[in-house]
Amino acid sequence: MRQICLDTETTGLNPRDGHRIIEVACIELVNRRLTGHHLHKYVHPERDIDAGAQAVHGITLEFLADKPKFADIADEFLEFINGAQLIIHNAPFDLGFLNAELDRLGRVPVETVCSGVIDTLKDAKALHPGKRNSLDALCERYDIDNSGRTLHGALLDTELLAEVYLAMTRGQNALMIEPDEAPRVMLGADGKVRERKPLQILRASAEEITEHERMLAAIDKESKGACVWLAAATTESVTQSPV
């Protein structure tokens, strides 16, 4: 499966207010492994950058003065994501901006080019209800080093997002989980949230226990009293016996 972790930086919060993309980054995963293949572009927005947005990402209009316009990178971008499943943290935000840029050019929306979209923010909220689920919070929760993230940057954020996504979908990280703390939902490798079924406990029948003890006795006889499993079973029986 080919997947693309994607992130953008923008001049403001809402494309309906005329805000534009100033950075777009995509990194490729194939069968859940980073390939090293990526697309990263700074884009001249053809408008000013809001002070609040600049404080978040640190990108200035002066820096973007010689950068291409979105129209100049649209074909390369669409070709890179073509047929891939997109992984985006807070997907409506990025898709809203990307589709606004494409609409200006008379191009088709992102969703018609890619094979699907996974929103890791939505999935994280399902997995960790009532908790902080920002990218920084998820990095902390999954022990991912984000010390280099002093400002938002699309390329660094996609790299962190890839690690977060793989951690969220790899399954149980710890060997033991207390029943009261076990999550009631789980995230599959396909990015879909499913209800976690309760663990089924199967106990040995009386006949199975008798057969097990017979086998241990035979092993103990053959090994001339060196059956460690029989010794362990005897110790456990004594420990659990009422005084």
- The DSSP call for residue 47 is S
The candidate with the shortest Cα–Cα distance to 27, out of 19, 17, 35, is: 35
- The DSSP call for residue 69 is B
Residue 200 in domain = no
Same domain, 150 and 225: no
pTM assigned to the model: 0.71
Q: Among all chains, which residue has been given the structure tokens 């927005």?
A: 45
Give tens-digit pLDDT for 64-106.
999 999 999 999 999 999 999 999 999 999 999 999 999 999 9
Catalytic residues: 152
Which phi and psi angles does 9 have, rounded to 5°? -120, 150
Cα–Cα distance measured from residue 182 to residue 198, given in angstroms and rounded to the nearest whole number = 10
Domain around 13: 2-195
Looking at residue 243, its pLDDT comes to: 43
Same domain, 129 and 33: yes
Residue 201 in domain = no
Judged against a pLDDT cut of 80, whether residue 197 lies above it is answered with: no
Same domain, 138 and 231: no
Structure confidence at residue 216 as a pLDDT band (50, 70, 90)? confident
At 106, which amino acid appears? G
Which phi and psi angles does 164 have, rounded to 5°? -65, -45
Q: Exposed e or buried b for every residue in 87-111, given b needs 16+ CB within 10 A?
A: bbbebebbbbbbbbbbeeeebeebe
Six-digit token string for 54: 């600049």
Same domain, 215 and 190: no
Q: Among all chains, which residue has been given the structure tokens 């280099």?
A: 148
